[in-house]
Amino acid sequence: MLFFSPLFLFVFLPIVWIVFMAIGSRVPAWVSICWLLVCSWVFYAWAYPVHLLWLMGSVAANYLCSVAIERTSQSHVAKRYLVAGITANLLILGGFKYSGFATESVATLFGLSLTPPSFLLPLAISFFTFQQISYLVITYREKRLIAKPHEYALYVSFFPQLIAGPIVQPDEMIPQLQTKRFGRPSLDDIGLGISLFTIGLGKKILLADNLAPIADSAFALSAQGESLSAFSAWLGLLAFSLQIYFDFSAYSEMALGLGRFFGIRLPENFASPYRAINIIDFWRRWHVTLSTFFKKFLYIPLGGSRSGFFRKYSNLILTMTIAGLWHGANYTFLLWGLAHGTLLAINHLWKNSPIKLPTGLSWALTFLSVTLCWTLFRADNLNESARYFQALFGEFGWITADGLPLSEFLKTLEPVDSWKTVHYAIHFLEWYPGLINGVHAGHFIFSEIMLSSLQVLAALTLVLLFPRPLSWLTHPVNEAPVFRKRAAFLTAIIIVIVIIQSGTFQTTPFIYFRF
Amino acid sequence: MTAKEFIVWFILSLSAAFALAVILFCVHLGMPWWPHHLNREVRIAKHHIAESIEGPTIWLQGGSSTWFGFDSPLLQAETGFDVVNLAFNINMPLEFCFDEVRLFAKPGDALILGLENSMYFRNNYSSYAADEITIWEPEFFWSLSLGRKAQFLKSLPWRKVLAGDLVRLGQLTGDFDKQLKPLPPEKVIENLEDQWDGRYTGEIPAYYNYLTLNRHGDFVQSNHTLWRGTHDYYLMDLHPVSEMTRHDFKEFTKWARENNVQILMSWLPMARNPKLDLEHPKVKASIHRITNFTSSMGLEFLGKPEDFILDIELFYDTSHHTTAEGATERTKRLLPFLKEVLD
């Protein structure tokens, strides 16, 4: 069930919320928790009911493991339980996610004929596995159970964050379920929830999903062996870079907004990463909770930055490579992680040098590096990404791939079908100023390449000019909502535009759903 | 600002934004201009033909396979009924097609309903139809129930509304009159009469046009590239008969019973081609779903689908349009079944 599907918006969410509000002040908190838990499981099971067994089994097993850790008085036994719990979680995750990839790699490497096992990956397994590992670690460290079974189950399964994060740490959510106020969200929370959820919805439907066809078409053409000009390849890559930005930002804000509907403050996962002025800064803003997880549970246990020059950089590169692979079992993700690890290492080295770049140049270099790396992330395999890189650097022509001079290329432009009626209206009203290079202005303005360029430019402008919603919708110190008229206008306008467009837009699932 | 004030502002903004959207839609509504002239003028012409009929009549209704696919003069000669072909496009909603019949049919008349197969399965308004109807038949939109209005609006592409608003603006500036002003209905009828009498000397602007109609409303001109492709006529899809179709048929058959109008179902003419296999289980199932549905409405088909499989040479520019010879052949094949059931 997608957050923007009519079933979710008009049936699931209203039922869950109305019942939650109705029972909140009348029943003990555990009833409200159980209600949210059952609804979260319905949400999870909607597409593949059988996956729910995995989730429930995993929740039960991990909770029992945490009980075992808490009950034992001997530290080394507790550690053994912890290691066993983490290993089991990682083995299951690895088995589902990487066994096919590993078998294929071994078969290719040694020329063997092996059939890769084929599993249907349980939805969100990467996310709920990490949350549960966090819980086992915190239980081990604190030597006490911080949650009752139903609280723990909801912490793992809470539907706003279950499918694609944020990866919530136990101490970020469980104490909220244990307060007396739980079950009675304030009007402030609800008002903020509406704004955040709607802004996220707008980002997904009006921005990300409109950029997707531009990126899809460029990457598909390149994958099919068509020659892309550098201009088209950059347009496609920028479109993807902005698509994934708005897609993930949308999901994160919708999740935060949904959490607020139920009085739960989820951690911010996305903090204007494209405003970062270096790669270190980027990773403090992009998928914040994943970065935090890897830092806390991999980079620091590996020795972090305190084990000498060589170890520091190798730890960094290793952590990022594993983080890349976390996104999917493919060499492209591995290389993407490796590239980011290398960039981070370069950035750390650069920090120690006396050369300081102007902020604008730093920003441009950061954005360019991140965007170029998305080629690896978006392409289906290494060959496709290599071919796309060739296109980006003008291998098949700069403006046109078939060697047409620009003036001739302009003459081939046609208005796209979806805008033809508007074009005809302007044309027959004789409102066009004249011809451009002998070509009708409307053919240029409403051509696919022009509309795509405008969309990419508009999206980039939004990224650069508009602050992240939480920065102006909440107080910076205590995250309390700050209500403004402009938020009310924006929320209302997004709702109306989404409704007006609802019959014509093509929606796609969130990109991070597949991880 | 408190949360309460925020929610009040939000509701006010929402209302204002909706009001603005409604205003833009209403400005667009009923704004005929060039891309829409074809259907508007064909409809004016067909209404003119229908209004001039007085005796017992067979009405033909459906998509363009009906517009192109009947030889009305032959039908008239063989049955003694006047014949009027009201059909024009597959995208038109059933409710709209039935409304057209309701406008003219009298007690004792018959209706041959030659719907394209996809029309039984459609559960929404096509964006083409939503666009056309808002332009030249806004009354249809207003006649819809609230739920149907919402469904209709959902199918209306917003870019078309934008185009309509621009044209309305052009009307205010006077630019509309230069090239976009549609022919007034009386001029359409005058041209049509001239064309029938051989007096029309102007150009025929498009090959689907009111000037290509005969005196019964059939399409008669044949000067287009011939279609020679493959098509399964939507019989391989496993869609159920839609709720929308069921509802519209239920209403219409009730009206027909009350007004003593006989409804006769006709299969569309289909071209023999490699994609069409009437023995395929999926095709059989689709045909079964359609016939089961019409039977449940108390309606029976004239003949079987296989009776209307024609040679591909009898098809014109698409898989659903027959040539004049194809229309005659289809009509000839229908006549024995028709004569059996006509009261």
Contact flag B170-A431 (C-beta cutoff 8 Å): yes
How many CB pairs (< 8 A) connect A and B?
Answer: 101
Residue B208 has pLDDT above 90, yes or no: no
Residue spans per domain, chain B? 37-126+190-341
In terms of Cα–Cα distance, which of A44, A385, A29 is closest to A222?
A: A385
Alpha-carbon distance B60 to B80, whole Å? 15
Asked if A229 and A165 touch (Cβ cutoff 8 Å), the reply is: no
Q: Which residues pair with A307 in a beta bridge?
A: none
The overall average pLDDT reported for chain A is 91
Could you give the angle at the alpha carbon of A288 between the alpha carbons of A282 and A293, nearest 5°? 120
Six token digits for residue A490? 């924006």
Burial annotation A104-131 (CB, 10 A radius, 16+ → b, else e): eeeeeeeeeeeeeeeeebbbbbbbbbbb
> By the CB < 8 Å criterion, does A310 face chain B?
no
Residue among B6, B34, B131 minimizing CB distance to A424? B34
What tens digit of pLDDT does each residue of B71-96 get?
Answer: 999 999 999 999 999 998 999 999 99
What tens digit of pLDDT does each residue of B238-296 get?
Answer: 889 999 999 999 999 999 999 999 999 999 999 999 999 999 999 999 999 999 999 99
What tens digit of pLDDT does each residue of A80-117 get?
Answer: 999 999 999 999 999 988 888 888 888 888 888 888 77
Predicted confidence band of residue B343 (pLDDT cuts 50, 70, 90): low
**Which residues from B are below 8 Å from A when comparing CB atoms?**
1-7, 9-10, 12-14, 16-18, 20-21, 33-35, 127, 131, 153-160, 162-164, 166-167, 170, 173, 175-176, 178-180
Handedness of CA A499, A502, A508, A513 (dihedral sign): positive
Residue among A188, A426, A500 minimizing CB distance to B166? A426
Six token digits for residue A157? 């399964």
In terms of Cα–Cα distance, which of B135, B128, B192 is closest to B156?
A: B128
Asked if A192 and A260 touch (Cβ cutoff 8 Å), the reply is: yes
Rounded alpha-carbon distances, angstroms, from residue B129 to A328, A497, B157, B223: 44, 22, 11, 26
Within chain B, what is the greatest distance between any pair of CA atoms?
79
Alpha-carbon distance A505 to A238, whole Å? 21
pLDDT per 10-residue tile (average), chain A, 515 residues: 88 96 90 97 92 95 96 92 96 90 87 79 90 96 93 96 91 94 90 94 94 96 93 97 96 95 93 95 95 93 85 93 92 96 95 90 97 96 96 89 80 89 89 78 91 96 89 81 90 92 76 74
The overall average pLDDT reported for chain B is 93
Mutate to test the interface with B, among A10, A194, A195, A421 (most CBs of B within 10 A): A421
Q: Coil, strand, or helix at residue B83?
A: strand
Asked if B319 and B268 touch (Cβ cutoff 8 Å), the reply is: no
Contact flag A186-B13 (C-beta cutoff 8 Å): no
What tens digit of pLDDT does each residue of B284-308 get?
Answer: 999 999 999 999 999 999 999 999 9
The CA-based dihedral angle spanning residues B95, B129, B213, B192, taken in that order and rounded to the nearest 10 degrees: 100
Contact flag B6-A418 (C-beta cutoff 8 Å): no
Residue B310 has pLDDT above 60, yes or no: yes
Residue among B127, B153, B175 minimizing CB distance to A431? B175
> By the CB < 8 Å criterion, does A472 face chain B?
no
Contact flag A483-B18 (C-beta cutoff 8 Å): no
> What's phi and psi for A301, nearest 5 deg?
-60, -30
Nearest CA in chain A to B125: A503
Alpha-carbon distance B262 to B291, whole Å? 17
Q: How many CA atoms lie within 13 A of A514 on its CB side?
A: 13
Rounded alpha-carbon distances, angstroms, from residue B262 to A421, B58, B84, B253: 41, 9, 15, 9
Nearest CA in chain B to A423: B163
Residue B225 has pLDDT above 80, yes or no: no
Mutate to test the interface with A, among B7, B9, B173 (most CBs of A within 10 A): B9
Rounded alpha-carbon distances, angstroms, from residue B19 to B13, B15, B24: 10, 6, 9
Nearest CA in chain B to A430: B175
Confidence (pLDDT) at A359:
93
Contact flag B159-A422 (C-beta cutoff 8 Å): yes
Mutate to test the interface with A, among B2, B10, B127 (most CBs of A within 10 A): B10
Nearest CA in chain B to A187: B3
Contact flag A425-B167 (C-beta cutoff 8 Å): yes
- Residue B321 distance to chain A (closest CA, Å): 24
Contact flag B157-A504 (C-beta cutoff 8 Å): yes
Could you tell me which CATH class the domain B37-126+190-341 is placed in? alpha beta
Q: Which class for B91: exposed (0-12), middle (13-18), buried (19 or more C-beta within 10 A)?
A: buried
Alpha-carbon distance B338 to B65, whole Å? 18
> What's phi and psi for B111, nearest 5 deg?
-125, 125
Alpha-carbon distance B96 to B113, whole Å? 13
Six token digits for residue B37? 């002239």
Mutate to test the interface with A, among B6, B14, B24, B176 (most CBs of A within 10 A): B6
Nearest CA in chain A to B9: A488
Number of helical H runs and strand E runs in chain B: 15, 6
Contact flag A429-B180 (C-beta cutoff 8 Å): yes
What tens digit of pLDDT does each residue of B137-157 get?
Answer: 999 999 999 999 999 998 988
Contact flag A492-B13 (C-beta cutoff 8 Å): yes
Alpha-carbon distance A343 to A400, whole Å? 32
One-letter amino acid of A401: A
Confidence (pLDDT) at A471:
83
Cβ atoms within 10 A of the Cβ of B265, count? 19
A340 is catalytic: no
Q: What share of chain A is helix, strand, coil (3-state, %, to 5)?
A: 70, 0, 30
Q: Beta B82-85 vs B57-62: how paired, if at all? A: parallel
One-letter amino acid of A241: S
